[in-house]
Structure 1
Amino acid sequence: MLNIGLGVYRTWPEDEHGQSSAGWRPGLSDEEVYEAAKGRWKLGVRADRERYAVFSAMDIVVLAVEIDHISGPDPDGRRTIHGAILKPGHPVYDRYVGSKSQVGKSQNPVQYFDSPFDHTDCACGCGEEVPSGRDFLAGHDQRAIHDRVKLVGGVLQFMDWFDATWPGAEPQT
């Protein structure tokens, strides 16, 4: 799960990215926190695999969002989180909002932690769960590949098929 640490709330005239505030202070509505917290972060490719983001201030989670998509990066490498604000009754909200942050203090406001809410099904089709950031359980990627090779007939037949169909493939001699 993605955790964004928020600093002290501040405002400014709306900038070219449509943002006019950042940070957190007591008394802000969830919508105000979201508008101040959603954008202009240096997020790597791992963020694209996360389902949820929580925003923390003073070591307490103050907002949870189900990520729809993450835009950008802008020329400066910063990105914006787009999603739905979670409310009481949603399991992620109920587990994290109002609780101590799951990550320790850091100079970097962007951190990740393993959460049972981020687990997804293994891409091989076995039905088992894998943690966020992974597609397969250990060894299951090889199982998926070999299952597909068998569908074509075997390794040699797969290589022939691949070389004949993949753009730019050069047959091996």
Structure 2
Amino acid sequence: MLRIRPGARLYDPDDHPFLTRELRGYDPTMTPLEVLHAARGWWVLAEAAENEKFAVVVSRNTGLVVMAAAIERWEQDEEGRRAFAGRILPPGDPVHDRYVGQPDPTPNAVRSAVTYFTDEEFDSLPCRCGCGEPTRAPWRPGHDQRALHTLIRTDFDGSVAAFLDWYQARRPAPQNA
């Protein structure tokens, strides 16, 4: 989950097609939609950020969560910064009800405006290998190989060569640049 603790509200128009906004930062007079747009980005984040499904916005003044959002899509700008598209989670949504109005879920020592934290109930998915273990990414570490070798064992009698021959015969022709 992302925790976003924006600075003071600033008029800073951005007309990027993915993130059109007039303001960045936060103050309590902003509408919920203004808070969402201001919190969405552009942020310097690793590609791993795109695994996040939720974001909470924390007021620097009060230290309380003022909004929760579901992250639905990510985009990267020409400078490598990331922004998300999403929707405000209303009262009655489990993420909203757990965080909005509550203290910052990250330690006070965290100075960055954007940081990650884990809430196992909302951040975990079952590993794609079928083991059932929770993970934030599609696979637990090493489990992608486990799934691949299970497939090779089941469908190709354990022969990596047979799998590669099958794949090469069906692989689309490479595109010439």
TM-score class normalised by the smaller sequence: 0.7 to 0.9
Residue 25 (str. 1) matches residue 30 (str. 2): no
Consecutive unaligned residues of structure 2, counting only runs of 5 or more, are none
Aligned to 1:77: 80
Deviations along 1:63-85, one digit per CA (max 9) or x if unpaired, are 111011012x2122222210010
Identity %: 38
* Counterpart selection for 1:108 from 90, 96, 112: 112
Does the C-alpha gap of structure 1 residues 136 and 40 become closer, same or farther in structure 2, counting only changes over 3 Å? closer
Number of positions where the alignment pairs a residue of Structure 1 with one of Structure 2: 165
Normalising by structure 2, we get a TM-score of: 0.81
Superposition RMSD in Å: 2.3
Letter in 2 for 1:2: L
Residue 121 (str. 1) matches residue 121 (str. 2): no
TM-fit CA distance, 1:32: 2.1
Other structure's SS at 1:66 match: strand
Consecutive unaligned residues of structure 1, counting only runs of 5 or more, are 169-173
| Conserved? CA contact 2:42–2:83, under 8 Å | yes
Aligned to 2:165: 160
TM-fit CA distance, 1:89: 0.5
Letter in 1 for 2:143: H
Aligned to 2:155: 151
| Conserved? CA contact 1:88–1:94, under 8 Å | yes
Other structure's SS at 2:72 match: strand
Normalising by structure 1, we get a TM-score of: 0.82
Q: Hey, what's the Cα distance between the residues in 2 that align with 1:122 and 1:82? A: 25
Other structure's SS at 2:21 match: coil
Does the C-alpha gap of structure 1 residues 75 and 141 become closer, same or farther in structure 2, counting only changes over 3 Å? closer
